[in-house]
Structure 1
């Protein structure tokens, strides 16, 4: 990952549109939606040439994997590219917060950029802290929704390859995602040892193969063996399983229950023993396997690139636009609010970092 402190002149890369779709920003001199990423001009230019992350995955899996594994790229760059294909909004992607724009920026990047009172900021919170000085927030879990916040589902894995239609039975179970950050309950070795007596292989997919589920029979997404809801996490793995035609076994993440129905389109477990029993049930009951995948395919129609694009467009041109109008109308109050809350937020962050260092 490139960690660049940009000190050169910044510029943006704009997708120009003659007009906006009906019911979008209606005020005079409608601003562009500026998706902010902390990368040099040269890299942004190359990113935009990709066209879409799915196309990039077909040509260069390393570039696509880098984007999907990086918070500001998977949220801000990917959203910019997907909305650009729709062609209904005035968009740009840049490495700076702009005065004449509605700026969409990842929480971690905003902590670095900070912002000023003349910037209208939409913070993509993801699984990072909420930056209270932002004027609006985009979240990936419905339990993160507060005032001036909209929930938008995370994008489905770009370039996802479905399970091979010729595969039968349950021979390979996979976890697709990062393991160093404790997102997988139990060790990879423990999972292998658990399933080996039943002739089932357990694998973890690297970030360059997250999209390839062609040789996977069951996908798991269990962060801990308890009832912890992980209210800052998205249901991405469940979406991917539905699109790949694979049964999903998940933990007690609130995001799974927000979009799915345990026992109908995925299986819910609390312990590793329950996970084993669920896997063996799928192995021994083809009818259950087919029922879960059939209902999953129907859910996949609700959560795909087209539907999520429409959700983004609706949120930006309605809820965000409304907040922008209020921000413009009461500028003196907003300036004071911004500086007070930003300064407090930055001080709070520094205090937390000091406490962490003292503890460690």
Structure 2
């Protein structure tokens, strides 16, 4: 690990479009100094095989360098458990990490890392839902978008920003020459990889760069230095789309790059202004958006400036503040109510959760993989 906990950076508003080429957006990866104090013990839970060797669960808190974090956040457990532990541990000694839950703390685990066998009547559990389903095993759920949280048992906290994010080089000006997709190959609809679409892009002087994840899981999705626009369109089922994050949008805001995005609920829920992003459903929509960005004077610059203002609320300091505020407030209150219940009733609750979990998971898998899709009716 790095040396002692560093002075923590401010939100990245000034860095997003004014950083020198190749500079990291520090606010995207390091926490802010003015975080509220954590007042409750919080224990993050992840399988020991997933723990980062550079970040021992015991001993003094030390910050991992930005470039190390950039290579770590690949699987869902990384941003939702290990990354949040890393950042909150820098701020508070009340934060711990282990492979099993504790009776004397608020336990936080990724949904996929917590099964029915881990249930304990005396252990209070917060599950981060990620792309999954509202598991009955959770006492509290944390959703990665604000499409369906109820403010009672489920709450929204945005996904952490892409670590090691490198903003667009401001020397590129308003040019639109490189359209980039950053993600798994399966998540870019085939219509946007067709020869006809690529030819129409080339006719406009634009190339599509696909930064797919490597077969070994490695990815380099944080470098926007020579990217002019981001493309993200996938043909998910409506049920699957309802659980996805808005990361493609918020990372684009931080990078100083306009985004062309599909009709996903997470993006739509964040939209306040037409400058936030351009919604597209088809290759023709993308081409029309590029024509606008190339031909409408000032549009590109206005979208970048608007994104810079919006990004502050999704930079790491803001995300961690939401974590601490939620833990200190609604989650701590729910934990207090839960502890006031007799152990016999909590044991009964565990039995009910155990029985409901199997059906909930089966229903989720069924709905996720079948039913209406986002791009139904769009020509192939």
Q: Return closer, same or farther for 1:327/1:183 CA change in 2, 3 Å cut-off.
A: farther
Q: In angstroms, what is the RMSD of aligned CA positions?
A: 3.0
Query: Is the 1:225–1:270 Cα contact (8 Å) retained in structure 2?
Result: no
Question: Pick from 265, 281, 284: which aligns with 1:254?
Answer: 265
Query: Is the 2:230–2:260 Cα contact (8 Å) retained in structure 1?
Result: yes
Question: Pick from 319, 335, 347: which aligns with 1:335?
Answer: 347
Q: Return closer, same or farther for 1:327/1:185 CA change in 2, 3 Å cut-off.
A: farther
Query: Is the 1:226–1:270 Cα contact (8 Å) retained in structure 2?
Result: no
Question: Pick from 356, 360, 364: which aligns with 1:344?
Answer: 356
Q: How many residues align?
A: 323
Query: Is the 1:218–1:246 Cα contact (8 Å) retained in structure 2?
Result: yes
Question: How far apart are residue 183 of structure 1 and its match?
Answer: 5.1
Query: Is the 2:189–2:235 Cα contact (8 Å) retained in structure 1?
Result: yes
- Within 1, Cα distance between the matches of 2:229 and 2:320? 28
Pair 1:160-2:161 in alignment: no
Question: Pick from 280, 285, 289: which aligns with 1:274?
Answer: 285
Aligned to 1:245: 256
Counterpart secondary structure, 1:138: strand
Aligned to 1:121: 125
Question: How far apart are residue 187 of structure 1 and its match?
Answer: 4.8
> What do residues 224-253 of structure 1 show as CA deviations (whole Å, max 9, x unaligned)?
399999211111011111111111111211
Counterpart secondary structure, 1:321: helix
- Within 2, Cα distance between the matches of 1:188 and 1:312? 38
Q: How does 1:78-157 map to 2 (within 5 A)?
A: 78-85=83-90, 87-88=91-92, 90-111=94-115, 114-146=118-150, 147-157=152-162
Moved >6 Å (runs of 4+): 225-229, 350-356
Aligned to 2:47: 38
Q: Return closer, same or farther for 1:225/1:290 CA change in 2, 3 Å cut-off.
A: farther
Counterpart secondary structure, 1:122: strand
> What do residues 91-135 of structure 1 show as CA deviations (whole Å, max 9, x unaligned)?
011111222221100111113753222221100001112211210
Query: Is the 2:133–2:364 Cα contact (8 Å) retained in structure 1?
Result: no
- Within 2, Cα distance between the matches of 1:314 and 1:325? 16
Counterpart secondary structure, 2:44: strand
Question: How far apart are residue 184 of structure 1 and its match?
Answer: 4.0
User: TM-score normalised to the size of structure 2?
Assistant: 0.76
- Within 1, Cα distance between the matches of 2:367 and 2:309? 47
User: TM-score normalised to the size of structure 1?
Assistant: 0.80
Which residues of structure 2 form unaligned runs of 5+? 1-34, 214-218, 369-380
Which residues of structure 1 form unaligned runs of 5+? 1-19
- Within 2, Cα distance between the matches of 1:354 and 1:282? 40
Q: Return closer, same or farther for 1:276/1:198 CA change in 2, 3 Å cut-off.
A: same
- Within 2, Cα distance between the matches of 1:345 and 1:226? 22
- Within 2, Cα distance between the matches of 1:271 and 1:152? 30
Counterpart secondary structure, 2:227: coil
Q: Return closer, same or farther for 1:131/1:226 CA change in 2, 3 Å cut-off.
A: closer
